[in-house]
Every structure is written in C-alpha cells, then in structure tokens.
Chains A and B, each alone.
Chain A
C-alpha cells in the first residue's frame, strides 16, 4: 500500500493570500529508472488529483504491468498509451495537471531515453522550470548532463535537482552533498542560474509534499513547497510592446482591428507604435475585447487593437513600441535541434515559422554541431535526428525577431518540410548576421526580354528529370538539334558534363547532390536571362529541389519534363555499366538502387521512355512546346 507522508500538504495559504493564483509550467526529465513517473504520480496523489475510479483501474493495471509487486504502481498513472505501458517506456511528451490553492501546475512529462531529445525540447519550450531527476545511487550520469544541456538551450532558468531514491542510500547527507557539488560544477560551466537541490524518495513520498523525518539534516523546502513559492517572473511586462498580428478583424467597413496576443510589454490608448517589417508608424486608438475596451493590456493578454491611421498591416506583422523596436533581418545565426528521420540538408528550402510569420529559408552554413553532453562544439557537415547544431540561416524575406534568450516567443522558430509537412526542426535565434556578401542584383538596361527578342524567340528552361539511362540526354540532344535547325538559340546543360567542371568538387551524398542542383539551377537561370532556350538534363532525384528550380523562374518559363522509363529498362540499357557496379555495391548512393528517386507529381510533360523511339519522343516535346507558345517568334 502507499505510505502516507507524515505531515499535511503545506499550502501556505496565509502567505500567498494576497497573490493571485498563477500557472507554473514545468518539465520533468529523467528515465523510468530514475523514478520520474513515480514522482509525478506521487505529486498528483498527494495533491489529491487522483480519483477513486482511476485508482481502481490502476490497481488492476499494477498487477499486469506494475513493477512494485503488490503495491499500487504510481508510475502507471502517467505512462499513458497502451503501447508504451507494454514496453515499459514513455514514448512522447505527456501533459499532467494538478493544482493547490495558490498555483495551477502544468507538467510536461518527457522521456529520458537518448533518442528522444526532440521530445524533451518540445516539452521544455513552454516551461519555466525543470526538475532534473538523479538516482542517488548513480549520481550525475551522462543522461543528467544531456538533460541539463537541453534545458539550458531551451532557455529554462530554474532547475530543481531532485536527488531521488534517498531511501536506497540510507538517507545519507554526505552522498547528497557529493552529488550536489558534482552537479553544481557542471551546471556552472553551462551557465544555469538557479539550482535548488532536494533529497527525495518519490516511492515513500519523502520531501515531495511532506518533510521527511528520515532526513532531519535537510533544511530546504520540500518539492511542492518550492514549486508553489518559486518566482519565475519574466512575463516581459516591462519590455517594449510586441504584438504579433494573428489576424486582421474587419467585421464591417467601419472597423479595422489587429488581433493578437501581446508577447511583451504593455499598451495603452495613445501609445505610439510602429508596424514591422514595413516600419509605418501610428497611434493606438482602442484596445478592444469582448469584455469591453481596456485602458491597459500587457504581456499574455489577447486583444484587438485599432490604430489612428489607416496603415497596411497583415497577419505576421508585428506592432511594436515606436521607441523600442524588434530587429528585422533575413539572415541570422541560430541553434537548431533536428527532429526528423531525414537529415538536415544545407541549401534545401524549408518553411520557417516564427510567431505568426512564415517564409522559406535555407541553412546556408552549419557552423558546428553541439554535444548535448558538454555543449562543446563538434565539427560536422549535416544534422541527424536528435542532433543540435549552430547554423546560419538565409530567408526569402526579412522577419521580425528578437534573440531567443531575450524573448522566447520572438526567437523560437520551427522548420517544416514542404513536401511531408512534418515539423522537422526547432530553432533558437542567437543574433542577426550582417550580410558580408550583401550583393544586390545589379539592374542592367538590356533585359532578358530584349535579349530574347534579339534572337526572335522566347527564353525558357526545359528541365529533363529521370533515372540514369532513362534517355534524358538522348532526347535533350535530339531536341537541341531540332531547335537549332529551327534557328533557335539554345544551350544544353548535361549532368555528367557539368560534373567535369563547375561541379567537380561535389560528390554524391545528399548534401552534395543538393548543392549540385542548386548550381545548375543558377546557371540555367543566367542562361535564360541571356535569352537562351536552356535544356537541362539532370537525374535531379528530389522533388524539393525541382520545386525550387521552378520557383527560381518566372511563370511560363520553366517546364519539367519527366522521362518516365521503368527502372528495369534503364538497368537493361546500362550504357555506362553503372547499374552493374551499383548492384555490386561499388557505387554508393546510386539513384534507383541505393538512393531514392522521387517521381514528379505534376510534371508539365511525361515521356514514356522505353515505349517510343527517342525521335518520336523528341517530336512529342516539340509539339508540346508549340502548343505552349514557346516556339512562337517574339
């Protein structure tokens, strides 16, 4: 049976009576072995958040899954999904709730296992405090350091070092002091500011909500006392106003309001504000809410502002105090936690979301990876699942932001894969980069159109994609000859040829393939700009890169032509003997064999390679170009 703790829950209602009941969001880090689930179960139980019928089903489950013999296993209260109960591990972030008269607690319960860094980062992102569990018998271990690094990285300033299982080390003060000293040394190096160590036995409930009689030497607060009393302050009330606009409210012609949740600062009617990134200024007219207009609103409040002037503000813009503005930049350095099975690729476009702003971005440089055990720098070329790196980011348009350590809501961003729509990374902005290579596109008087007109044609890019041996180059070559005969000015960029010169420095791993394509896209853009009909014959296996290619051209200027030749036929042809080599394992990352080819979903033209002769296919392309008006003389 559960042991009752010796004293009542110290609720301190007297001392807190003047204060409002607040919310504390905290994170628990540790593994099942550290007794994390038992600790949370104990907190819930002691605060009477566990109902009789829950206890009833818990008793029966304890017999099936429990690890505590005949006693009720409190850990089962928190190990939620059936799948993970059977495996005995926690596989995801779970949220728990309990409250006392002075505080409501939201607990982000995250697994401690190594491969779940992303879950910890997710759980930590909204927390103000972290409980780091240490098994008193084992002391500070690799996992403790790893958790502390992530906690620090995500900007949590308050740490409770919960030294658990004191019952198994005879409630020994020396052992406790030893672990505290050990941890403090490490934490000081990281720069964690507030550490409160507490000796516990979650199983017995010692120092959780009631003082333990077995540890009279400990004069600090119990865990619950500390959680109730800790001041986590920074709601950013005193900073300059930051209101990210979520939506523009226009219920009728006479009302135009900007709805959002204030991220920092305070606002009053009459305040001078500026809308970023555009930089137009105005004055706050009203603070509108369902419960009536307000004379003042501050960080955390959801409001709708109206302004004195009609200025163009849309979703994602930020209304700031005029004299205290956010930064605006399209390049910055950030820490990135990679959360996807697919590694991060330099140069690949991802969707970046920060507060209500969305833009495309690329990682232009991975400066170094970061060890989650020591925070030391490690060199690296790419980021894999659960790895952390410091990167330089380049955005398609400037965003409004602040350094993460100054303002979480304005410095934290996510990256989303454009094809799968998965959230693949979380990032924390450190600082904006001044563009050393701030080279603007030089406007020239002779335009693309003028150059094309001189050649009596329309410039465009014909992008052939398909497996090696699919016949891309053969058809592209025949097509160029036909176009040449028709007096068109052309150029053919062939994958193999480009690799002999411009891209000689690149290999065949995913990173180099992305860079290979990027260069080819840029070269073909210049060719189109020169007024040429540019034929590109590249395997280009990734749809993300082909999509990027399309986006780099104007509408009607880019045609994706898919050589849809079955792998078996390509392999049969094997003009260069490459498939045979790849099958023998002599070529790594060979498209179609050991590296994926992502077929186009919406190509402009599909050619059935293997069914028709190259000459017929060439005529098909010509007919298509005719129909598209590309061959009209301009």
Chain B
C-alpha cells in the first residue's frame, strides 16, 4: 500500500517515540481506548517492534458505559494480535453506582476515568502510560510535551515542563513519578483518517453511518445503546442514520448526522468539516479552560 510522504514521516516519528518509551521506562503501558486513535496507535506499536511482539501490556479503563460494539471490537482485536490486554474498572465507583445519568458527566469522568486510571497505574506500578492524544485536539494539549511528566500525585504542571529538543526525550523519573508519552502528538484528525485509509486499519463500525436508535437531549443525539438510559414517558427513540466522530461512554458521546459509510467518505467529510471533533464530547464543555483543569488533576 502506498503511503504519502507526510504520513510516512509522522509514522516514523511515532515509531521512534514508541521505541524510546520501551527502552527508557521499566514498566510502560499502552493506553487503549478502542477509538480510531487507539487503532492507529496499536498499528504504530506493532510496526515499532516488528518482528517482535509489543513489549508491554495494553490497558483499557472500562467505565462500563462504553458502546457494546466497542467492547466487542476490543476483544476481537486483542485476540487477533494476541495482545496482553488489561481491563480495569474502578470497583469502588461501580459499587457506589456512579453513572453519567444521575451523577453527571463531571463526577462520572472523575471517578470512572481519572481515578480509575490512577488506581491502575498505581496497582500495576506502571511508570509510563503511552496514549493517543494529539496536540490539535484541544488548546491546552498544544503545549504538552511528547514525554509529559506527572508528579507523584499524577498532576501535570504546565509551568514546569521539561524543554524537549530535537528528538531527545528525557524520561528520567524520581520514585513515584510517572510519564505520559504521546507518540501521535503531531498528528491531526485528518492525518489519522488518511492513515487509516491508506493503511487499511480496522476501526469500530460506529464510525460509519448506519441506522441507530437515537434520543435527542440538549441538542445532542444520544444513542440508546442499552436499557440503562432512563427514558422520559413521552420519549421514544427515533431511528436515524448517524455515525460517530469520536467514541467514549455512550451517554456522553453525541452522534452526528452523516451519510459517510466508508473511510473515503469520512475523509471527504472531515476535509470539508466546519466543526471540531470535540464538539461531540460533553465533558469538555463544563467551563472555559475545562480540559486544562482536568489535565492538571490527572485526566489523561
């Protein structure tokens, strides 16, 4: 398959970062969130260590509210590549019955994602978490390093970042500190889609337009993925042709109306897009600078 030069350069940069992470840390882990970025991340990891296996486990933080198709895709992917996949859920949060409907997105995200991630990092003593975040996703990310330092209590201090020059990554840590590593820092959403197309990478079918049961709330189209979603007496799901631009917890991820049913059509759609992909994410909207605040508290 022919790969365009700019994608080849991005791929090479990412592979280089993956290999650095594998060498510089004792217990790195690959954060696998099942979305399109994770699919690309996984492919890059496979390439980086070929012909060997990926030399570290994958970690999925399962809030128990992911789309069912995501979980099926995750398990099939793990089987296909014989991956060492760890699934972690915050059992305390689960026992307390934390959920996005009664507790709201902020509490749900904090307990089931941020705290869950901390639990997993501490439990498995991972010293580096490799994630698929991109700098173009959100303003506060645009200043984040590729090797991004976290304090002992998992905080990101934007004012104390280490200068990062050339392709020299400083992964030295004091006891208890951790690193986040972002091999796809310099990719954009369009790069991700073009790469998926040119490399023919499998992704969760939810990205493709299909008829799905939808309820509309606050102008957001929410898919009725299971019967845990409380419906008002007069609320009946409508069948609409929709797809998702990003994937997360189904009650917090809005669908978009789109006819794009294959990768080529998605690439065309992204090229002409007038809204950013984070538009469909409810958790970013709590307040101005909200992602920055979440990150300082340790949200991935």
A residues contacting B by CB (< 8 A) are 20-23, 51-54, 57, 61, 78, 80-83, 85, 91-97, 99, 103-104, 106, 118-119, 121-122, 125-126, 246-247, 249-251, 255, 257, 259-261, 288-291, 300-302, 304, 315, 339, 351, 353-356, 408-409, 412-414, 416, 421-423, 426
For B5, what are the chain A residues with a Cβ–Cβ distance below 8 Å?
A: 20-23
Asked if A413 contacts B168 (CB within 8 A), the reply is yes
CB pair B273–A51 under 8 Å, yes or no, is yes
Q: Which residue of A lies closest to B19 (CB)?
A: A246
Residues of A close to B71: CB separation below 8 A: none
Q: Are A122 and B9 in contact (CB under 8 A)?
A: no
B12 and A302: CB pair below 8 A?
A: yes
* Nearest-CB residue, chain B, relative to A109: B142
B185: Cβ under 8 A from any A Cβ: yes
Chain A: CB-nearest residue to B191? A104
The SS class assigned to the A binding surface is mixed
User: Are B23 and A421 interface neighbours, CB within 8 A?
Assistant: no
Tell me the minimal C-beta distance from B269 to chain A in angstroms. 13
B6 touches A104 (CB 8 A): yes
Alpha-carbon gap, A53 to B285, bound state (A): 11
| CB <8 Å contact, A51 and B276 | yes
Residue B136 at the chain A interface, CB threshold 8 Å: yes
Q: Are B15 and A61 in contact (CB under 8 A)?
A: no
Are A51 and B274 in contact (CB-based, < 8 A)?
A: yes
Are B275 and A22 in contact (CB-based, < 8 A)?
no
Q: Are A409 and B166 in contact (CB under 8 A)?
A: yes
Min distance, Cβ A243 to any Cβ of chain B, angstroms: 12
Q: Is B262 an interface residue (CB 8 A)?
A: no
Contact A81 B186 (CB under 8 A): no
**Does any Cβ of A come within 8 Å of B62's Cβ?**
no
A276 to B166, CA, bound (A): 22
For B173, the closest partner residue in chain A by CB is A421
Q: How far is the CA of A409 from the CA of B165 in the complex (A)?
A: 10
Q: Is the CB of B165 within 8 A of A81?
A: no
Residue in B6, B159, B170 whose beta carbon sits within 8 Å of that of A22 in the complex: B6
B161 near A: Cβ within 8 Å? Answer: yes
One of B11, B140, B273 near A80 (C-beta < 8 A): B140
Q: Which of B50-58, B109-117, B121-129 contacts A (4 or more CB under 8 A)?
A: B50-58
Asked if residues B163 and A290 are in contact (CB atoms below 8 Å), the reply is: no
For window 145-190 of chain B, which residues contact chain A by CB distance below 8 Å? 158-159, 161-168, 170, 172-174, 185-186, 188, 190
B271 to A: closest C-beta gap in Å: 9
A535 to B143, CA, bound (A): 51
| A97 pairs with B186, CB closer than 8 A | yes
Chain B interface residues toward A at CB < 8 A = 1, 4-6, 8-12, 15-16, 19-20, 22-23, 46-53, 135-136, 139-140, 142-143, 158-159, 161-168, 170, 172-174, 185-186, 188, 190-191, 273-276, 278-279, 288-289, 292-293
Closest 3 CB pairs of A and B: A82-B289, A251-B52, A20-B5
Find out whether the CB atom of A80 lies under 8 angstroms from the CB atom of B163: no
Whole-angstrom CA separation of A367 from B46 in the bound complex: 48
User: A51-B276, A61-B288, A82-B292 given as contacts; is B6 within 8 A of A121 (CB)?
Assistant: no
Contacts A104-B191, A251-B52, A421-B174 given: A259-B143 contact, CB under 8 Å? no
Q: Which residues of A contact B6 (CB under 8 A)?
A: 20-23, 99, 103-104
- Chain B residues near A354: list those with CB within 8 A: 168
Residues of B within 8 A of A95 (CB): 135, 142-143, 185-186
Closest to B169 in A: A353
> Do the beta carbons of A119 and B163 come within 8 Å of each other?
yes
Give the chain A neighbours of B161 by CB distance below 8 A: 92
A246-B16 CB under 8 A given contacts A289-B47, A290-B46:
yes
Question: Are A288 and B50 in contact (CB-based, < 8 A)?
Answer: yes
27 contacts between A and B (CB under 8 A): A20-B5, A21-B4, A21-B5, A57-B288, A78-B142, A80-B140, A95-B142, A95-B186, A99-B6, A106-B186, A122-B163, A126-B166, A247-B19, A249-B49, A251-B52, A259-B19, A259-B49, A260-B19, A289-B47, A300-B9, A301-B12, A353-B168, A354-B168, A408-B166, A412-B165, A421-B172, A423-B165
Supposing A96-B142, A409-B167, A421-B173 touch, asked if A82 and B288 sit within 8 A by C-beta, the answer is: yes
